[in-house]
Amino acid sequence: MKKVITYGTYDLLHSGHINLLRRAKELGDYLIVGLSTDEFNAVKEKKAYHSYEDRKMILEAIRYVDEVIPEQNWEQKVQDVIEHEIDIFVMGDDWEGHFDFLKEYCDVVYLPRTAGISTTKIKQDLLQSRNG
């Protein structure tokens, strides 16, 4: 069985998230998502609308996702790859090069982002329409 892992906050779920999860799943048989905890998001100075538990429940309902694990810090990725016997690490290409250190443990794939959509853009559009 070929195992794939990806990471993210997955707040305000949109088609770009679904495309990434689908393409990540197509690379293997079993997809694990490392979901940033609320505490880790605070460290990253990232504010999520939904709580970790709600984001986890939403991800678990997506057919491409086989397992959700907590992402609690930047450093845990090597341990996760080893512990879960990961074959392929996947991230969006906006992170290109950042995780190449994992090539010692597994294949690293950077997938193109879905054009025209991001959580940041959604938040900006909503704010603009409110202030419009």
Residue 56 annotated as catalytic: no
- Exposure of 49 by Cβ count < 10 A (0-12 exposed, 13-18 middle, 19+ buried)? exposed
Block residue for tokens 């991800």: 59
Residue 123 annotated as catalytic: no
- Asked whether the beta carbons of 56 and 33 are under 8 A apart, the reply is no
Structure letter (DSSP) for residue 95 = G
Tell me, what amino acid is at 124?
Q
Among 2, 3, 25, 46, the active-site one is: 46
Sheet holding 107-111, edge to edge: 67-71, 30-36, 3-8, 88-92, 107-111
Among 2, 44, 47, 103, the active-site one is: 44
Residues acting as catalytic residues: 44, 46
